[in-house]
Amino acid sequence: MTKRGRPRKDPNAPKQPYNVSTIERARRATQKRIRDQRRKAKKASAKAEHHKHAAKKIESSAKKIQDGLNGTASRVIDESDLTVASESVRDLVEDQEVIFRPNNGPQEEFLSSSEEDVLYGGAAGGGKSFALLVDPLRYCHNPNHRGLLLRRTLDELTELIDKSRQLYTKAFPKAHFREAKSTWVFPSGATMWFTYLDRDKDVTRFQGQAFNWIGIDEITQYPTPYVWDYLRSRLRTTDDELRPNMSMRCTGNPGGVGGWWIKKMYIDPHEFNKPFAATDIESGQQLLYPDGHEKARQPLFYRKFIPARLTDNPYLMQDGRYEAMLRSLPEVERKRLLEGDWDVAEGAAFPEFSKERHVVAPFEIPTNWPRIRAADYGYASPSCVLWGAIDWDDNIWIYRELYVKQHTGEQLADRILEIEQTEPTPQYSVLDSSCWNKTGFGPSIAETMIRLGVRWTPSDRNRLQGKMEVHRRLADNPLTKLPRIRIFNTCSNTIRQLSGIPLSKSNSEDVDTKAEDHAYDALRYLSMCRTSPFTSIHKSLSHIKEQVYKPQDNTFGY
Ligand SMILES: Nc1ncnc2c1ncn2[C@@H]1O[C@H](COP(=O)(O)OP(=O)(O)O)[C@@H](O)[C@H]1O
Ligand SMILES: [Mg+2]
């Protein structure tokens, strides 16, 4: 007995007999067997159906692959054909010459991009032009495919045509190149026009034409976005299968005459390798469908930038000679062609500027570092105000940037006062000296701001000395072995301008004043400052000296 409840069952007690007859038990057992058999039959039939379906798929892939091998394929064989193929079909294909297999990384990403406008740009030899040639082949089975591949000069185009001869006839053995029209014609009727375009005004050759795929190789050779803009208006098709995949595909090395607009269009607006709604390169505003359109206010199309690296192309990396050649180039060229650095512009004024060395993550500025401020004023063009602090080794840290358009002197002063409410007043503040210019009796911009409580002194007018001072500051401080000027990564305009501002074509000692230079000018004024923590201590001591040693009431007895 347990303490509570029912007594435990005796495990040795005889089992209770079934309370049904032997015949009934036999009937039930037979029924269960039948149920089990039925279940098994159902499973087997589903499996057979699945195999039948898979067999059909394999059959069609195998046919496609066989056609490809015989040279009668109506379309290019891609990975999806191989993934459904059985081991034996795979083996068959792998025994054959594979025409093209994308390199892992950027090349693969470029070829699988679905955005309308993609730039694959960066290091030379990354496999960009090769990928551009391959990209349109996926549409060439469609009789309505019209492709256009463009280069700036005829010589460079010839190089591409030669490469296309190797690739295209392998992919579509019955495709042929019509020399007179410089056009590939595929068995389906699809075409790919290879042409060159040197001068902007020649875009009229494309008037009235429509293409569903447009590729521009070495787009940085075009000095302005004019050609790109015009060609995009030619991106049209009436084919429903092709319409969702209409694409502009560009490749290019950094630098070149068009480096500046490419940077604004693809590189500056967004993180690399991530799609973003296309923006206007001048205003930075998103391009949207107009009001009244069914997609009104939605992004017009998406863009993406894919950086190319030489290291991603095993075909050129193997023997290391190409890399060694790129490494031996002068600094600016090396940065562009080997490292794919878009920040070094054509004839860059500050090639020594490096984001790695000169740009830092923000931190709290110690309260005993003197603050300084400088500004370049503009109304239609932007105004730039920079705030800096000077450390005990006399290095300048630019910790804030205000970059605004269409602010009157009064509005700008208000913004500055608001920002400086919670921090020490700058000990040195300098404004573009032309702000003291007066055209009539009214107050100048400098005067307006000073009256409102934002003090300024006029900037040093000597542009060349200012530039030399920026160079000196960008160089290392022998004490710390680090640059004398560092910029918080939040000051994006200053960083962009320092890395991209070109030298003047007429005076190689100065920067090109036609380029956007407001942040650079403010930085130049700021660099000329003589303040340091020691001068400020000196100032405060002299103030104490005045109080202690020159007492008004002669309490010290002299
Ligand atoms: N996926 C690939 N398969 C085979 N060869 C490739 C591939 N990608 C690049 N290559 C080879 O590398 C060479 C250099 O590539 P290319 O496209 O001319 O470089 P880029 O245009 O970036 O300077 C090409 O001529 C080609 O022979
Ligand atoms: Mg190329």
pLDDT attached to residue 361: 95
Residues 6+ apart with CB under 8 A from 371: 365, 387, 388, 389, 423, 424, 425, 426, 427
Report the nearest-CA residue for atom 10 of ligand 1: 127
Over residues 255-273, the mean pLDDT reads 83
The closest ligand to the CA of 131 turns out to be: 1
User: Ligand 2: distance of its center to the CA of 132 in Å?
Assistant: 9
Residue of 313, 318, 322 best suited for mutating to test ligand 1, as the one with most atoms within 8 Å of CB: 313
Whether residue 544 is predicted with pLDDT greater than 70 in this model: the reply is no
Residue 346: pLDDT band (50, 70, 90) is low
User: Ligand 2: distance of its center to the CA of 123 in Å?
Assistant: 9
Residues 6+ apart with CB under 8 A from 38: none
User: Ligand 2: distance of its center to the CA of 160 in Å?
Assistant: 9
Name all residues whose Cβ lies below 6 A of ligand 1: 100-103, 107, 124-130, 308, 313, 315-316
User: Ligand 1: distance of its center to the CA of 125 in Å?
Assistant: 6
pLDDT attached to residue 17: 54
Q: Please identify every residue whose CB atom is under 5 Å from ligand 2, which is an ion.
A: 129
Residues 6+ apart with CB under 8 A from 450: 456
Whether residue 220 is predicted with pLDDT greater than 80 in this model: the reply is yes
456 or 508: which leads in pLDDT: 456
Please name which of 183, 184, 162 lies closest in space to residue 173, comparing C-alpha atoms: 184
User: Ligand 1: distance of its center to the CA of 253 in Å?
Assistant: 14
What is the position in ligand 1's atom list of the atom closest to the CA of 217? 21
What is the position in ligand 1's atom list of the atom closest to the CA of 122? 22
The closest ligand to the CA of 100 turns out to be: 1
Over residues 181-209, the mean pLDDT reads 91
353 or 506: which leads in pLDDT: 353
Q: How far apart are CA 24 and CA 10, in angstroms?
A: 29
Whether residue 129 is predicted with pLDDT greater than 50 in this model: the reply is yes
The closest ligand to the CA of 322 turns out to be: 1
Ranked by mean pLDDT, which of 17-26, 102-111, 315-324, 404-413 comes out on top? 404-413
What is the position in ligand 1's atom list of the atom closest to the CA of 102? 1
Q: What is the H or E stretch that residue 374 is in? A: strand 371-376
Q: How far apart are CA 500 and CA 41, in angstroms?
A: 73
Residue 466: pLDDT band (50, 70, 90) is very high
Over residues 475-492, the mean pLDDT reads 92
Q: How far apart are CA 531 and CA 461, in angstroms?
A: 18
pLDDT attached to residue 153: 86
Phi, psi (degrees; rounded to nearest 5) at 417: -60, -40
User: Ligand 1: distance of its center to the CA of 124 in Å?
Assistant: 10
User: 247 near 146, Cβ under 8 Å?
Assistant: no
As a residue count, the chain comes to 558
Over residues 31-53, the mean pLDDT reads 88
Over residues 126-137, the mean pLDDT reads 92
Among the residue ranges 200-204, 342-346, 353-357, 457-461, the one predicted with the least confidence is 342-346
What is the position in ligand 1's atom list of the atom closest to the CA of 100? 3
Report the nearest-CA residue for atom 8 of ligand 1: 127
What phi-psi label fits residue 394: left (phi over 0), alpha (psi between -120 and 50 degrees) or beta?
A: left
pLDDT attached to residue 116: 93
Among the residue ranges 94-108, 248-262, 297-311, 473-487, the one predicted with the least confidence is 94-108
User: Ligand 1: distance of its center to the CA of 132 in Å?
Assistant: 10
Residue 355: pLDDT band (50, 70, 90) is confident
Whether residue 411 is predicted with pLDDT greater than 50 in this model: the reply is yes
Over residues 445-449, the mean pLDDT reads 93
pLDDT attached to residue 92: 56
313 or 165: which leads in pLDDT: 165
- In the block, which residue shows the tokens 């787009």? 219
The closest ligand to the CA of 166 turns out to be: 1
Residue of 79, 135, 315, 339 best suited for mutating to test ligand 1, as the one with most atoms within 8 Å of CB: 315
List pLDDT tens digits, range 325-336: 777 777 777 777
DSSP assignment string, 406-420: S--HHHHHHHHHHHH
The closest ligand to the CA of 134 turns out to be: 1
287 or 282: which leads in pLDDT: 287
Question: What's the Cα-to-Cα distance from 539 to each of 370, 457, 459, 544, 546, rounded to whole Å?
Answer: 12, 18, 22, 9, 11
pLDDT attached to residue 457: 93
User: 76 near 133, Cβ under 8 Å?
Assistant: no
Whether residue 232 is predicted with pLDDT greater than 50 in this model: the reply is yes
What is the position in ligand 1's atom list of the atom closest to the CA of 123? 22
User: Ligand 1: distance of its center to the CA of 318 in Å?
Assistant: 12
Q: How far apart are CA 295 and CA 502, in angstroms?
A: 40
User: Ligand 2: distance of its center to the CA of 275 in Å?
Assistant: 23
Report the nearest-CA residue for atom 20 of ligand 1: 125
> What is the three-class DSSP state of 267?
helix
Report the nearest-CA residue for atom 7 of ligand 1: 127
443 or 347: which leads in pLDDT: 443
Residue 549: pLDDT band (50, 70, 90) is very low
Whether residue 542 is predicted with pLDDT greater than 60 in this model: the reply is no
pLDDT attached to residue 178: 95
pLDDT attached to residue 552: 40
Q: What is the mean pLDDT of the chain?
A: 83
Whether residue 438 is predicted with pLDDT greater than 90 in this model: the reply is no
User: Ligand 1: distance of its center to the CA of 308 in Å?
Assistant: 11
User: Ligand 2: distance of its center to the CA of 215 in Å?
Assistant: 12
Token representation of residue 75? 């379309």
List pLDDT tens digits, range 71-102: 565 556 665 565 555 555 556 556 566 778 88
Over residues 48-54, the mean pLDDT reads 79
User: 499 near 371, Cβ under 8 Å?
Assistant: no
Whether residue 436 is predicted with pLDDT greater than 60 in this model: the reply is yes
What is the position in ligand 1's atom list of the atom closest to the CA of 316? 12
Report the nearest-CA residue for atom 27 of ligand 1: 315
58 or 210: which leads in pLDDT: 210
Over residues 316-332, the mean pLDDT reads 73
Over residues 186-211, the mean pLDDT reads 91
List pLDDT tens digits, range 358-409: 999 999 999 889 999 999 999 988 999 999 999 988 899 999 999 999 999 9
The closest ligand to the CA of 310 turns out to be: 1
Residue 545: pLDDT band (50, 70, 90) is very low
